[in-house]
Amino acid sequence: MARWRNIKNSPKITNSQMKDENIKIPSFWQRLKAFLIDFFMIYVPLIYFFGYVVFDGKDDFNSNELAPFLVVLVYGLITVIFWVKNGQTPGKKAFEMRVVDAKTHKLISFPKAVFRFIMFLFSATILIGVIMPLMRKDKKALHDLISATVVTYDK
């Protein structure tokens, strides 16, 4: 019969660790590098496209309140499509990472990907959500915890 003291002091094992111990989780810095690649390959060209093709230039883009929302909306749609299709954006592909479901370790569905992106926006807005991987052993950000996803190295 196990004593409470022994159970309490034993190392805690999460469900994901029990399921597959071979899962490699990328560091905060690797994820940041992948995000910066995505930012410069997807988001910045979208800003230029909307600024100079959709709108009449920088001044028209800056004066329109809907313009930044449209850019983030299109960026989110592109990112969600990448996550659903193969779990990788270009930045994550460059570092051989993949966004998967935390329990099944399979690709995430479209509604879950949309929810994860919305939670990413919330996480980035409050800032603590995106720096959480620096403080957690499982290296999950707030949007990963809320949406039940995990970023792993591609096998």
Could you tell me the residue ranges of all domains in the chain? Answer: 25-153
pLDDT in tens, 126-142: 998 889 999 988 899 99
- 9, pLDDT greater than 70: no
* Stretch 87-105: mean pLDDT: 93
Over the range 115-142, which residues count as b (16 or more CB within 10 Å of their CB) and which as e?
bbbebbeebeeeeebbebbeeeeebbbb
Does the predicted TM-score (pTM) go above 0.85? Answer: no
* Stretch 53-71: mean pLDDT: 88
Decide which of 27 and 9 is more confident: 27
- 11, pLDDT greater than 80: no
